[in-house]
Structure 1
Amino acid sequence: MSETLSSLMIEKLNQAYTAEKLALENLPKLAEAASSPTLKQAFQNHVQETQQQVSRLEQAAKQMGTTAEGAPCEAMEGLAAEGQRLISEHQPGPILDVLLVAAAQAIEHHEIAAYGTMRSLAASSGMQEVADLLGQTLAEEKATDEKLTALAESEINPAALQKAA
């Protein structure tokens, strides 16, 4: 792997590390703001999963001969700030729950893109163990996005529509 590609991988890994740490800070706030018990539980469950994802990033960094350190991730900082803005501007209830799902899915989509890129770079560079670690997290992020969609369609959106009627 060229030095440039190696540096890029480490930078992306460190940005993902920052993103996951921000998620650990913000998921409890989303859970607290949610009025749906199912949505609260989904956010709480994702905290545990995110802790495992942080651990995988640390393992991947070690396998690359470095240490996972935070690096600026303006996209995630913006997404986290947007979630906090929504919480501060809306009353708890079904409408805020819709907005919380949307905010959480925006975060998941960012993470899916980041992990997909990192996994692909690692696999192309012959770092199969790193690619496998990142692939595990990529699969979890996709599954979380699908769970949020299913929750929105089965419970959250209908509750908001019923409130609006």
Structure 2
Amino acid sequence: MKETSNTTKEKKTHTPMNSSQLMKLFVDELKDIYWAEKALTKAIPEMIENASSLELINALTLHLEETHEHVERLKQVFELLGQKPETKPCKAMQGLIAEAGEIMKSCEEGPMRDAGIISAAQKVEHYEMATYGTLRQFSETLNLTDAVVLLAATLQEEKAADEKLSSVAIDTVNVEAASEAV
């Protein structure tokens, strides 16, 4: 007797998690953010070099160290999945990094450029927060407990970096940029 469409559908929903469509998407998104984090280890030093505010330089330097840790955590997630770490070019991050470069070139050195760097860096942080939040949720659904812990740690650091950038902007950089004549 032939299986009905209901039985076929039921079988699809009971496939092992490691071969599920969500797992495929999870791995694809891991490759994307792995590329992005590696690209940021090259882009953040350029932001540091172009910044003039000591507070901004310190915030970016700390986050660069964290970004290297994020790369290592992603390698651990790949290892948990039994996979070799791979990258897939992240078009969103490519665009954000290119935009940061344009902002740094077009803004006058000093507080104005610092405000532009913060703007560009916060766009990056928000993209990363969205990505890590999604990946953490995927890993929860896939019952990848160790991955959840690693991804949640990175998500918290991305949120803290965003808050620090906001603090630098509010406390000094934006005020200084606003007081400069055009």
How would you bin the TM-score normalised by the shorter chain? over 0.9
Partner Cα distance (1:153, 1:164) in 2: 19
- TM-superposed deviation, 1:22: 1.0
- Aligned partner of 1:156 in structure 2 is 173
Partner Cα distance (1:13, 1:68) in 2: 9
The residue correspondences of 1:75-154 to structure 2 (distance < 5 A) are 75-154=92-171
- TM-superposed deviation, 1:90: 2.0
TM-score when scaled to structure 1?
0.97
Structure 1 unaligned residues grouped into runs of 5+: none
Identity %: 38
- TM-superposed deviation, 1:139: 0.4
Partner Cα distance (2:181, 2:86) in 1: 45
Partner Cα distance (2:165, 2:27) in 1: 30
CA deviation string 1:25-69 (max 9, x = no partner)? 000000011111111111111111101010000000100111221
Partner Cα distance (2:85, 2:125) in 1: 21
Maintained 8 Å contact 2:107/2:116: no
CA deviation string 1:65-98 (max 9, x = no partner)? 1122110210000000001111122221111111
Larger Rg: 2
What is the RMSD computed on CA atoms of the aligned residues? 1.1
1:18 aligns to what SS in structure 2? helix
Maintained 8 Å contact 2:33/2:131: yes
1:24 aligns with 2:41: yes
Structure 2 unaligned residues grouped into runs of 5+: 1-16
1:121 aligns to what SS in structure 2? helix
1:44 aligns with 2:56: no
TM-score when scaled to structure 2?
0.88
Partner Cα distance (2:169, 2:139) in 1: 34
1:71 aligns to what SS in structure 2? coil
